[in-house]
Amino acid sequence: MPVNVLVVQEDPDIASFIGRGLEAEGFAVRTACDGAEALRLSTTLEFDLIVLDLPLPTVTGEEVLERIRASRSPVPVIVLTGQASDGDGVSVLNAGADDYLTRPCEFDELLARIRARLRAADQAASTTISRGRVTVDVSTRQARFEGRTVELTAREFALLETLMHHSGRVLSQPQLLDRVWGYDRDPSSNVVEVYVGYLRRKLERDVVETVRGAGYRFRG
């Protein structure tokens, strides 16, 4: 599958130049020249990376970045701007940008930065699962809900991880017993129901949906 990149630049010529260069490297590219369009695209389509200008019509790049991070989106954002001032780099990095470049810059440098951020994102994705408001790190066995750390027991974490791996699908009690507990249990046992209750108390009730007569579904 191609890597999807959103290029947001105030100058249409610059956006087009970057877009053509990335397409020549095999990326799938969408471009935008104002902040409102950038927000619309970033919330309706899935991107693997965003290249973002700061001075933009309708909505500033800073506000676009703020809204992206407020939505808990982990998409890497590289700020590329030609109207930088002292402190901009530190400010946008603190606001959640993953990298910062000023124009003019060589296309090859931008391409190298993009590839570096995508590699870092791939490495992080290999150990984390993010669905809606919940993120779990499989390597550290840590869970976060709406940005806050949630303390889970080993069995609670295993149940949550299993449900998240199959987000949107209904898993029956026997399936959960097999995948989480790993051995046969009395089908009449209510252990799954009990542990779903634990998760709901530590997260929120609507995170795990009960599908009557079928099982449970992660909603996030």
Tokens 């840590």 locate to: 142
Determine what percent of the chain is predicted with pLDDT higher than 90: 58
The reported pLDDT for the residue numbered 46 is 86
- In this prediction, residues 27-53 reach a mean pLDDT of 94
- Domain end point (choices 70, 98, 125): 125
In this structure, are 13 and 100 located in the same domain? yes
Quickly state the pLDDT bin for 39 (edges 50, 70, 90). Answer: very high
Question: Which burial class, exposed, middle or buried, applies to 176 when counting CB atoms under 10 A from its CB (0-12, 13-18, 19+)?
Answer: buried
pLDDT of residue 198: 95
**Same-domain check for residues 84 and 139:** no
Residue 158: partners with Cβ closer than 8 Å, 6 or more residues away: 180
Looking at 97, 125, 153, which one is the last position of a domain? 125
Give the C-alpha separation, 209 to 218, whole Å: 6
Overall pTM > 0.75: no
**pLDDT tier at 185 (50, 70, 90 boundaries)?**
low
Q: Which domain CATH number covers 91? A: 3.40.50.2300
Do residue 151 and residue 206 come from a single domain? yes
**What are 106-155's pLDDT values in tens digits?**
999 999 999 999 988 877 667 788 888 899 988 888 999 988 899 999 99
Are 120 and 150 members of one domain?
A: no
Domain total in the chain:
2
CA–CA dist 150, 207 (Å, integer): 14
Query: Exposed (0-12), middle (13-18) or buried (19+): which is 77, by Cβ within 10 Å?
Result: buried
| Residue where one domain finishes, among candidates 94, 109, 125 | 125
The stretch 169-196 carries a mean pLDDT of 81
pLDDT in tens, 64-82: 999 998 887 889 999 999 8
Domain of residue 34, residue span: 4-125
110 lies in the same domain as 165: no
List pLDDT tens digits, range 90-106. Answer: 888 888 899 999 988 89
Q: Within this chain, do residues 19 and 109 fall inside the same structural domain, yes or no?
A: yes
**Residue 89 contacts residue 108 (beta carbons within 8 Å):** no
In what helix (H) or strand (E) does residue 8 lie, and over which residues does it extend? strand 4-8
Assess whether pLDDT exceeds 80 at residue 183: no
Tell me: do 151 and 77 sit in the same domain: no
CATH of the domain at 152: 1.10.10.10
Q: Which strand ranges, in their side-by-side order, compose the sheet holding 128-131?
A: 128-131, 134-137, 142-145, 148-150
